[in-house]
Amino acid sequence: METTVLAYGKLNLSLDVLQKQPTGYHDLKMVMETVELHDRLDITVGEGQGIRATSNLPYLPADGRNIAVKAASVFFRELGLSEHQVSIRLHKQIPVGAGMAGGSANAAAVLRGLDALMGTNLPLEQLRELGGRLGSDVPYCIAGGTVLAQGRGDVMTPLPPLPPCHIVIAKPKFSISTASLFARIDCGKIRHRPDTEGILNALETGQLDQVALRMYNVFEDVLDNRGKDIAQIKSVLLDCGALGASMTGTGPAVFGLFDEETPAKTAWERLKETYPETFLTKNRGVSI
């Protein structure tokens, strides 16, 4: 049995950190959006045992360190199914370590793919519950769309879709440790916060420009000197006509929203000269 599943990238239209819980986790408030930029997973299930992954990126692990492999293991174990031989062929396009939930999207795609192949037909909430055992972004990536995510990102409220737009995404030539940014942030000293309520109102009225004007990511306030690249990318995007620009997740990828394709292409061409991992895409605006 074989199926092909697409794993779509995620952007944070806003990201706010509200408080730190005694457990050490932080309460978040985020507006999330799915983009057309995606990875492709070819999943084969056969007789026998063993779960392995291969990828077009040779440095990605093929064993249980790969979240796609972990997702397959969780699926069979938690549903009480006998383990099968599973082969996952992964073609990566979403940049690794960019704040776009690429790994989480892959895990979610494996859960969806195995659910279809094994005929389990799990309800959305059960798939999300399984995803929550793998990572905070996996439940969102099960269905995607335009969503208000709260708590650890696992309390989700569907929102009116973001109006169709062109999106340019650029990732600097480094990654940022998620743990280090959470360690640096002090919820009582955050200077700038996104206008989340304004974004929700703009989504209700379908005003792309008003959404873009209110985007912000509080982690931009706690970047080290590598934040210069973040600022540079945002500057190019805005100079080329982006309605707004922001870092996604814990970065370092930065994106800009455009209402027309021509200025988006101009920004893409300018940025890819310095940042090879630059992409021109669109939002999906609907659930997967």
Helices assigned H by DSSP within 65-122:
67-78, 102-117
Cis peptide before 22 (omega within 30 of 0): no
- Tell me the C-alpha to C-alpha distance, in Å, between residue 20 and each of 109, 134, 163, 194, 217: 31, 21, 33, 18, 17
The whole-number pLDDT of residue 164 equals: 97
3-state secondary structure of 275: coil
Which residues on adjacent β-strands are paired with residue 54?
Answer: 89
The whole-number pLDDT of residue 269 equals: 98
Strands (E), 152-219: 155-158, 166-171, 216-217
The whole-number pLDDT of residue 15 equals: 98
Q: What is the mean pLDDT of the chain?
A: 95
- Strands 85-91 and 155-158, by their bridges, are unpaired
Known catalytic residue at 282: no
Q: Residue length, the chain?
A: 288
Backbone angles phi, psi at 154, to 5 degrees: -100, -5
Known catalytic residue at 137: yes
Q: 114, 121, 128: which is closest to 51 by C-alpha?
A: 114
The whole-number pLDDT of residue 104 equals: 97
Mean pLDDT of 265-277: 98
Is the pLDDT at 75 greater than 80? The verdict is: yes
Q: Give 99 or 48, the one with higher predicted confidence.
A: 99
Radius of gyration of the chain (CA): 19
- Strands 166-171 and 277-282, by their bridges, are antiparallel
pTM exceeding the 0.85 threshold for the entire prediction: yes
User: What does the pLDDT look like over 162-195, one tens digit per residue?
Assistant: 999 999 999 999 988 888 888 889 888 888 899 9
DSSP state of 23: T
Residue 66 in tokens: 């790969």
The whole-number pLDDT of residue 21 equals: 82
Residues 6+ apart with CB under 8 A from 166: 257, 258, 259, 260, 261, 264, 280, 281, 282
Q: 103, 181, 204, 147: which is closest to 12 by C-alpha?
A: 147
Q: Which domains can be identified in the chain, with CATH numbers? A: 2-158 (3.30.230.10), 166-282 (3.30.70.890)
Of 16, 39, 115, 137, the catalytic one is 137
CA 104, CA 7: separation in Å to the nearest integer? 9
CA 32, CA 176: separation in Å to the nearest integer? 20
CA 93, CA 103: separation in Å to the nearest integer? 11
